[in-house]
Every structure is written in structure tokens, then in C-alpha cells.
Amino acid sequence: MKEIKAYIHNHRIADVIRALKESGRCGCNLAVIPAQGLLKAVDDREPHYSIELAEAVTNESKLELICEDHQTDALVDIIERAARTEQAEAGWIYVSDIVAAIPIRRSHE
């Protein structure tokens, strides 16, 4: 199994999720987490100053997706195409091996 993590501009995340769903390759192991990061802003309205980080940041979305090994390349391609902006670099996609996947089951009290 693989874990795909992608850091995407907020204005692209809905298109990424839609493309993943329409592909039929995306199961239920998908999460989207709000994040602040240092992606290059698409326009002058996107960056804001973070007092906590003492940096200009952009609001991003962190997408996490668990998939079978054979699905990885296709899912990465879908994310990459749907997340594109007019910038040379519009985010990052990371792929990691999952050593174990343990379901949390209901208790049997």
C-alpha cells in the first residue's frame, strides 16, 4: 500500500477531489486538511502574514490518500493534472510506503 500526500492551492482542491472521484480509482481513504504553507502565491490576494510563523504564507490544502501499489501512478497523474496552476511549480506530491494498515474495530463489551 502507498500513501499519497499532496500540498495544493486551496482554489484547486475541489477540482482535484472531483477528478479523483470521477476516475473511479479513489476509495474512501481520502482526507483533506487545511494547511498554511510557503507555496508561491498565485496572485497578490493569496498570501497573508502569519504571526505564528513570522512569514508570508498561503492557505493550502493537504490531501492524504491511501491506495494499492498498482493505483499509485494513475492517482498521482490525476492529482498533478487537476492541481495545476499557471505557475511553474504549483505544489508538491509525495508518495510513501505504508508498512501496516490496522482497522479500528468496534468494541465488544
Residue ranges of domains in the chain, CATH in brackets:
2-97 (3.30.70.120)
Instruction: Return all residues near 49 (Cβ < 8 A) that are at least 6 apart.
Output: 55, 56, 57
Nearest to 30 by CA among 4, 59, 9: 4
Position 37 scores a pLDDT of 73
State pTM to two decimals: 0.81
Q: Residue 104 is placed in which grid cell?
A: 479500528
Q: Tell me which residue has cell 476509495.
A: 27
Helix and strand totals (H; E) in the chain = 2, 5
Q: Tell me which residue has cell 498521482.
A: 76
For the segment 15-30, what is each residue's pLDDT rounded down to a tens digit? Answer: 999 999 998 877 668 9
For the segment 35-86, what is each residue's pLDDT rounded down to a tens digit? Answer: 877 767 666 777 667 677 677 778 889 999 999 999 999 999 999 999 998 7
